[in-house]
Structure 1
């Protein structure tokens, strides 16, 4: 069938069948973008990279800018429940009809170039943004930075939230090489805001080569948490007694720091009112209280460590149960280690995708004495429901897919 007649669902199926590529060719992607006139957008661009916290940092930037009266586009990934979550314009999701138009536009000019799922979708997102008079566009890096499709854009401000071990088969097995890949978003004479306190030397090397202007935490800006508020001390501004956000404070702080380095006009009173509004699905999201059910997309050691700290802050009167699903390319032992001593029983499950960790992987890495194994999140939840009482806490984590599956199951119960 002619792609011109494809429906939204047909396009999604087409995208999901696109072959994965071992190496991204940014030159090819740029050539396609030029044909669509996507490289000359007049908006102010933020590109947000890092190992963890990219989504929450983007959400904080978006909220503060929208509340300050700017026209804002946001491109983020992956989605949790619906593909349309990936692009927002002025806080609203773009319609499926608009996506269809964007997909066909990209397909029409790509010629014989092969595009991966993420490359195709990134070009479509920029095509969607081109249709609006946006003041600011926020791009979340999908993976790494240097070879990520978002890197075809020369951003005004680059952000690296943190640098930790993840995606080692692609980015390298140590922080030096991972940092070098993430530093690929640096731009000459433009500011790069860094939230990582323990910087590998490769960041400084990349900054020197690219001639970017580094603004580093605890050197050029810092934040300090108090019992009921926090402060941001910054090269350009000092803010005291800020409200505690619902997202990790480190992500709120780097978003604010980047904003004040951008020189975009932000009303301080509006800023104070906006900080505590920001929340994201699947980021320590509590969806029930009797029992407490917490959803978190943590899928590496750093994120799981933060999750463990949040769990410690809860007054658990019963027992902690975990529904856990993970992808096969993850270091499962490092993900479960921060929570291992807190969990009463693990309910480990396969995920409904080819990238799921195998049953053998799960059995090899999870403690045999207190783990049950299942072939689906649905079966895990049905079994767990019979064991818990209202004082217990249920944590669902390990992957975006794990959380997405659980939300879908709970929605059917309503």
Structure 2
């Protein structure tokens, strides 16, 4: 069938089957982008990389800019429930016909070039942004930085939220090599805002090589949390009595820092309200209180450590149970370690993808005396429900797919 007649769902199935045929590089995607004139958009670009917190930093930056009157495009990944979550224009999702037109245009320009799923979608996002002549575009790095599809754009400001151990088969086995890959988004004479002070030397080396201007937390900009508020200091501004956000505070602070380093005009009167508004699905999201059910897409040790800190701040009256599912390429032991002593029983599931960790892999890393293993999140939840009391806590985490599966189950229960 001619792809010109493809429906939205047919296009998504087509994209999911795309595989890179040659060695990973940005040559093919750059050639297509040039052909479609996508490399010289007039927008101000932010590119956001890091191990964790990219999505919440993007969301916070988007909110600040929209509330200050800018037109804004946002490209993030992965999606939780719906593919359309990946691209937003002025805070809104696009309709299927807009996607179909973009997909067909990219496919027609592709010819014999080889594109991966993520590369195709990145071109789609840029094509859609071009139609709107936006003031600002925010790009979330998918993986690493140097060879990520978003790196075809020369951003005005680059951001690295933090550097942890993840995707070691692609990025390297230590923070030195991972930092070097993430620093691939640095640009000559442009600012890179860094949200971590404990930086590997490789990041400084890349910055020096690229003549990038680093702006590092606790050196060039600062934030401090108090009991019920926090403060932010920056060469251009000092802010006090800011509200505690619903998302991780470090991500709000780095978004704020990047915003002021951009020199875009900001309505300072709206900042506190903007900070209070932002919340993302699956980021320490409490969806019920009796028992408490918490959803979190923590899928590496850095994220699960933060999750453990958040749980430590809670008034826990019952037991903590975990519904856990994870991909096979993850360091499972490092993910569960921060929570091992907090969780009373683990309800462990394989996920509906060939990327899922197997039962045998999961059993090797979880203590059998307090872990049960299931063929699906649905079966894990159904079994757990039999023992829950109103004072207990259920923690659903391990990957985006684990959380997405659970949300789908809960939505069906409500219906």
TM class by shorter-chain length?
over 0.9
Q: Which residue of 2 aligns with 1:311?
A: 311
In structure 1, the gaps of 5 or more residues are none
Query: How many residues were matched structurally?
Result: 414
User: Matches of 1:8 and 1:130 in 2, distance apart?
Assistant: 20
User: Matches of 2:24 and 2:42 in 1, distance apart?
Assistant: 26
In structure 2, the gaps of 5 or more residues are none
Give the 3-state SS of the residue equivalent to 2:247 in structure 1: coil
User: Matches of 2:340 and 2:193 in 1, distance apart?
Assistant: 34
> Retained in 2: the 8 A contact 1:24–1:148?
no
Give the 3-state SS of the residue equivalent to 2:115 in structure 1: coil
1:89-138 deviations in Å (ceiling 9; x for gaps): 00000111111111111100111011100000000010011110210000
Give the 3-state SS of the residue equivalent to 1:196 in structure 2: coil
Q: CA deviation at 1:23?
A: 3.8
User: Matches of 1:187 and 1:14 in 2, distance apart?
Assistant: 34
Q: Which residue of 2 aligns with 1:258?
A: 258
Q: Which residue of 1 aligns with 2:223?
A: 223
Q: Which residue of 1 aligns with 2:189?
A: 189
> Retained in 1: the 8 A contact 2:44–2:155?
yes
User: Matches of 1:203 and 1:365 in 2, distance apart?
Assistant: 33
Report whether the alignment pairs 1:125 with 2:148: no
Q: Which residue of 1 aligns with 2:385?
A: 385
Give the 3-state SS of the residue equivalent to 2:151 in structure 1: helix
- Using the size of structure 2 for normalisation, the TM-score is 0.99
**Residue correspondence of structure 1 range 373-412 to structure 2 within 5 A:** 373-412=373-412
Q: Which residue of 1 aligns with 2:53?
A: 53
Q: CA deviation at 1:24?
A: 2.5
User: Matches of 2:116 and 2:235 in 1, distance apart?
Assistant: 40
Q: Which residue of 2 aligns with 1:90?
A: 90
Give the 3-state SS of the residue equivalent to 2:242 in structure 1: strand
User: Matches of 1:218 and 1:113 in 2, distance apart?
Assistant: 45
> Retained in 2: the 8 A contact 1:320–1:343?
yes
Q: Which residue of 2 aligns with 1:76?
A: 76
Q: CA deviation at 1:21?
A: 5.9
The more displaced of 80-89 and 13-22 is 13-22
> Retained in 1: the 8 A contact 2:190–2:212?
yes
Give the 3-state SS of the residue equivalent to 1:131 in structure 2: helix
> Retained in 1: the 8 A contact 2:20–2:114?
no
Give the 3-state SS of the residue equivalent to 1:73 in structure 2: strand
> Retained in 2: the 8 A contact 1:221–1:235?
yes
- Using the size of structure 1 for normalisation, the TM-score is 0.99
Q: CA deviation at 1:231?
A: 0.8
> Retained in 1: the 8 A contact 2:22–2:114?
no
User: Matches of 2:264 and 2:39 in 1, distance apart?
Assistant: 21
Q: Which residue of 2 aligns with 1:320?
A: 320
Give the 3-state SS of the residue equivalent to 1:28 in structure 2: helix
